[in-house]
Amino acid sequence: GDSVTQMEGPVTLSEEAFLTINCTYTATGYPSLFWYVQYPGEGLQLLLKATKADDKGSNKGFEATYRKETTSFHLEKGSVQVSDSAVYFCALSRTQAGTALIFGKGTTLSVSS
């Protein structure tokens, strides 16, 4: 079945460091891919998305490119801030529109000043 695998955390970085969180997926067809972020004590918020191969999603300095050949959707940011400390979830939607998301297990990012 469909699945998402993302790197285990926690990831600990200093402010202004470069961030990569790896995400790979297994799916039939052509899923849409998402990164969600969960700040402490809050629900999940959509960070960025991509709906087809080679699409690049971007938001708040974060980027991820839908790579069909490597079935990957790695999250990157050039210079992290303390306020980026959160849990990040990679997710995919099944090919049938409207069905639920399949999430990775989440990666905790901690950024220190």
Partner 1 sequence: DADVTQTPRNRITKTGKRIMLECSQTKGHDRMYWYRQDPGLGLRLIYYSFDVKDINKGEISDGYSVSRQAQAKFSLSLESAIPNQTALYFCATSGRTSEIYNEQFFGPGTRLTVL
Nearer to partner 1, 26 or 45 (CB): 45
Give the number of other Cβ atoms within 10 Å of residue 5's Cβ.
15
Minimum Å gap between C-beta 101 and partner 1 is 6
Nearer to partner 1, 12 or 45 (CB): 45
In the chain the first and final C-alpha atoms are separated, in Å, by: 41
Which amino acid is residue 60, in one-letter code?
K
Q: Give CA–CA dist 79/24, Å, rounded.
A: 23
Minimum Å gap between C-beta 98 and partner 1 is 6
Which residues of this protein are in contact with partner 1, per CB under 8 A?
A: 32, 34, 36, 42-46, 49, 51, 89, 93, 97-101, 103-106
Minimum Å gap between C-beta 108 and partner 1 is 10
Nearer to partner 1, 35 or 111 (CB): 35
Q: Give CA–CA dist 47/19, Å, rounded.
A: 15
Nearer to partner 1, 17 or 108 (CB): 108
Which amino acid is residue 44, in one-letter code?
L
Nearest to 25 by CA among 68, 58, 64, 57: 68
